[in-house]
Amino acid sequence: MDDEAREFEQFARPHAAAALRLARTLVRDEADAQDILQDSFLRAFRHFRGFSGESPRAWLLSIVRNVSFTFRKKQGRFGGFEAAEPDEQLEELVDDGPSPEHTLLQACDAQEVRVALARLPTQSREVLVLREMEECSYREIASVLEVPIGTVMSRLSRARSQLLRELVGPTGSKN
Amino acid sequence: MEPLVEHPRAALHAYLDGELSLEGSLAVEEHLAGCPACRQRLETFRTLRKLVRAARPEAVEAESAFARVVPSAAGTESTAGPDATATTSARAEPVPNMPAVTDAPPGRGVGLAPLRRARRWPPLAMAGGLVAAAAVALVVLIPAQEMRRAASEVAEVHARARDTGRWVETASDDPSAVARWLEPRVQYPLPPFPTGDGFALRGARVEALQGAPVATAVYEVRQHVVDVFAWPSHEGDSEPIPTVTGPWTVCRWAHAGVAYWMVSDAGSDDLKRLAGFLKAQRT
C-alpha cells in the first residue's frame, strides 16, 4: 500500500493544482471543486496502475472533467454542460487600422481577467484554462475534452475572441 | 500547403501556440507578411495570452485534497485512506461567508441548501466545525481584517464599474426582467430586487467576486448608484453596518438565506434604508 501510495503521489501530485483549477472552472464553487478533486483522486488512485497513455496529466484532467460533469448533472442546476456551440461560427473580430483594443488590453489587470473569464461559457473557460493556465498541448486538450484537435483549435480561437470582447468591449465601440 | 488567401482564424491561434506544422506555420507567416490586420490580431492575442497566464490563481488546496486520498503523501490532516468515500457526503460543515476572503470562488450554497466548508480559511473552518458539532445555529464571525479586505474588493469592483461607465449589462427597471436576466447567468436562486421607496432599479450586471459570478443589482437613490451583490448563504441574519472605504460606503449583511454586499457613494443612511426595503419586500 505504501509503495502504491508513493507511486501514485509521483504520478498525480504534480498535476494536483491543475486538476483543482479545472474543477473550479467547471463547477465554480470552491467547496464543490475540492470535493470533485478528492473524488477524482480516489478514482485515479484505483486505476492509475492500468494507465498506459502518454500524458498522466491529460488522463487526470479528463477524470476531473468527467466527475465534474456527473456532479453537475446531479445538481441539475446546469442541466449538464451548456449545449455545445457550433464550432464553425467564428466571429471576425478585428479589422485593419490601429488597434485600440490592444492598448485597452494592456491596461487590464489580473482581477479583470478573472472577471472576464468567469463570464465566458463553460466550453470556452475550460479550453482557456487548459491552454493558458496549464499550458497543455492541443493534443492533451483534445484528449481531456474528447474532441478532435481541429475542434480544440476552433474552440480556443473562439474562446480568446470572447475573452477579448469581455475585456475591451466590442471592437470599435466602448461601453 | 497553398498560401492563405483568407485571413487565418483558428490557424492564427495554433500558430501563436506553436501547434502548426512547419508547412502550416510557413503559410501563416506568408499571410502575415502581407496583412497588417492579422499581424495586429496576433499581437493582441499574444498579449491576451500573457494576461491570462498572469491571472492564474493559486491552487494550494489541491494539496489537502491529495492528502485525504493518499494519507502518506502529506501532513497531518489525512485520516481517510484511499478507500474512503466520504467525498460528497462530507459536506456538513457550515460555511459562511463571502466570496472575498481569498482568491477562491464564493462558498455559495446552491438552492440555499447545502452548507459549505470554509476550506480556505482555517480559523473560520474550525469555528464552523465546532458549530456543526454542537448542532446549533450557524453564527459567522468574520474577522475584521477579512471584512476590510472583502469590503475593499467590493469597492474596487464598484469603482471599476463607475470608471468604465458600465454600470449595467442589462438596463431595466422591471424586477422580473432583471431576475430573468440574472438567473441563468449566476445559476443560483435570487432574492427579489424590488423597486420603490425612493430606490429605483436601474438594471443588473454580473460581477466576479473571487472568480465566481455574483448577481449585482444596480439601484439609484438620490442620484447615487448603489451596487447590491447577493448570493445564497446559510449564515444567520445580520444587520447592515456601513463602513467607509475611500469615497465609498460599503456594508454587508444577511437576511433569510441571502448574503448581501452593498456599495455606493450614497451615505450610510441610504444603504441602511435600502437594506430595510429589500428585507421588507421578502416578508
Q: Write out pLDDT tens, residues A20-73.
A: 999 988 887 788 888 899 889 988 988 888 888 888 999 999 999 999 988 887
Answer yes or no: are the C-beta atoms of B226 and B266 closer than 8 Å. Answer: yes
Q: Write out pLDDT tens, residues A95-140.
A: 444 477 788 888 888 888 988 898 898 899 999 999 999 999 999 9
Q: What is the ipTM of this complex?
A: 0.79
- Interface contact flag, B82 A5, Cβ < 8 Å: yes
A71 and A34 in a common domain: yes
C-alpha angle A116/A117/A119, rounded to 5°? 70
In a domain, A175, yes or no: no
Counted residue by residue, chain A has a size of 175
The CATH number of whichever domain residue A117 belongs to comes to 1.10.10.10
pLDDT band at A76 (very low <50, low <70, confident <90, very high): low
Q: Which amino acid is at B58?
A: E
Measure the CA–CA gap between A158 and B89, rounded to whole angstroms.
Answer: 38
Residue B90 confidence (pLDDT): 36
User: Which architecture, in CATH terms, is B144-280?
Assistant: 2-Layer Sandwich (3.30)
A104 and A67 in a common domain: no
Answer yes or no: are the C-beta atoms of A11 and A4 closer than 8 Å. Answer: no
In a domain, A87, yes or no: no
Residue from B184, B178, B181, B180 nearest A78 by CA: B184
Answer yes or no: are the C-beta atoms of A8 and B70 closer than 8 Å. Answer: yes
Q: Which domain, by its residues, includes A147?
A: 100-168
Last residue of some domain: A60, A75, A90? Answer: A75
Residues in A touching B105 (Cβ below 8 Å): 24, 28-30, 33
Query: Domain tally for chain A?
Result: 2
In a domain, A54, yes or no: yes
| Residue B270: other Cβ atoms inside 10 A | 21
Residues in B touching A99 (Cβ below 8 Å): 40, 43-44
User: If you average pLDDT over every residue of chain B, what do you get?
Assistant: 74
Residue A173 confidence (pLDDT): 37
- Domain locations in chain B as residue ranges: 10-54, 144-280
How many CA atoms does the CB half-sphere of B47 hold within 13 Å?
Answer: 18
Residue B71 confidence (pLDDT): 65
Q: Write out pLDDT tens, residues B143-197.
A: 666 677 788 888 888 888 887 778 888 889 999 999 999 988 888 888 999 998 8
A67 and A130 in a common domain: no
Most A CBs within 10 A among B9, B78, B164, hence the mutation to make, goes to: B9
Q: Which helix (H) or strand (E) holds B205?
A: strand B200-209
Distance from CA of A146 to the nearest CA of B (A): 18
Residue B13: pLDDT above 90?
Answer: yes
CA B199 to chain centre: 25
In sequence order, the 6+-apart residues with CB closer than 8 A to the CB of A11 are A44, A48, A51, A56
